[in-house]
Amino acid sequence: MSISSTFHKWGSPRWFYQFSGRLLPWLAGLSLLLLLGGCIWGLAFVPADYKQGNSFRIIYIHVPASAVAMGAYVTMAVAGAIHLIWRMKLAAMVMKAIAPIGASLTFLALLTGAVWGKPTWGTWWVWDARITSVLILFFLYLGIIALHQAFENRDAAAKACAVLAIVGAVNIPIIYWSVEWWYSLHQPASISFTGESTIHPTMLRPLMATLSGMYLFFAWVLLLFTRAEILDRERNTRWVQDIVCGEAR
C-alpha cells in the first residue's frame, strides 16, 4: 500500500472510529493490568533502595508520568505538523485530544516529583533546569488548551495550536538533556538505551511494566477523546446519526 492511500484511510474519521473501537478493550485491559500489576509489584515486592529506602518507590509513577508527558507532546507536535502540511482533519482532532491528557500527566509528574523531593533532597521545589523546563511543558499544554478555546473557527484554532505545538517542541530535548547540560539538583536518567541502566534489574522490571502501561493508558484515553471529538464534528453525517440512533434505541 502506498503512503498516500494509507494517509487517506487514516485520515477518514469514520474508518478511524471503527478501527479504534476494536482496539479500545485491548488497550484498556492491558494498560490497567500493567499499571496496577507494576504498582503492586513495585510497592510490595521490590526491595527498598540502599540509600532512599521506601521513598524511591514513587519512581513507578513519576518516571512513567514524566516520560509519557513528553512522548504525548511529541505526538501532539507531529499531529500538528501533519495537519499543517496535509490539512488532515483527523490530525487536528488528535492534537486537540492530547492537550488535556498531556497537561494531566505533566501535573502528575510535577506532583510526584515534589512528593519525592521532600524526603530525599529536603525540598518540595527548586528552580533547577529540569523542574523549570517541565513546568514550562505544563504551561505549553495549558496554552494550547486555552488557544483552542479562544477561536470561534475550528480550522483557525487548529492552525494556531499546531504552530504553538511545533514551536514548543523545542522544549522536549531541553527537558531531556537539562540534567546533562547544566548543574541541577535533579539526577540524570537511570534507564539507558545505549549503555547499562543504573537501576538494579529487580527494580527496573516493574518500572518497565508501569512505563509501558502508562504509554498504553495514554493511547487508550487518546482514542477515547479523539472518538468523542469525531462524533461531535461529524454529528451531521449519516453514519454518526446511525450510531447514535442505534445506541439510543
Partner 1 sequence: MAMHPQRKQRLIIVIFILVIAGLAAGLLGYALKENINLFYPPAEIVSGKAPVGKAIRAGGMVQEGSVQRASDSLKTRFVVTDFSAVVTVEYEGILPDLFAEGEGVVASGKLGEDGVFYATEVLAKHDETYMPPEVSDALEKAAAKRAEQQEKGEL
Residues lying near partner 1 in the complex (CB under 8 A) are found at 2-4, 46-52, 56, 59, 81, 84-86, 119-123, 126-129, 163, 166-171, 174, 181-185, 187-190, 198-200, 202-203
Return the closest-CA partner of residue 96 out of 164, 152, 137, 144.
144
Min CB(220)–partner 1 separation in Å: 29
CB of 89 to partner 1, least distance (A): 15
Tell me how far, at minimum, the Cβ of 128 lies from partner 1, in Å: 4
Calculate the alpha carbon distances from 144 to 21, 65, 103, 150, 232 in Å: 27, 19, 10, 10, 20
Could you give phi then psi for residue 53, rounded to 5 degrees? 65, -135
Residue 160 CB, nearest approach to partner 1 (Å)? 12
Tell me how crowded residue 62 is: count the other CB atoms within 10 A of its CB: 22
In the complex with partner 1, which residue's Cβ is closer, 193 or 248? 193
What is the C-alpha to C-alpha distance for residues 135 and 116, in angstroms, rounded to an integer? 16
> Please, which residue, 107 or 125, has the CB nearer to partner 1?
125
Specify the residue, 30 or 128, whose C-beta has the smaller distance to partner 1: 128
Residues 6+ apart with CB under 8 A from 213: 30, 31, 32, 33, 34, 35, 37, 38, 64
Return the C-alpha cell found at 54.
Answer: 521506601
**9 vs 200 by CB, closer to partner 1:** 200
Distance CA 29, CA 80 (A): 29
Report the nearest approach of partner 1 to the CB of residue 202 (Å): 6
Residues in the chain: 249
Residue type, 97: A
94, 228, 145, 215 alpha-carbon torsion, rounded to 10°: -50
Closest CB to partner 1 among residues 20, 66: 66
Cβ-based nearer residue to partner 1, 41 or 243: 41
Q: Least CB distance from residue 213 to partner 1, whole Å?
A: 19
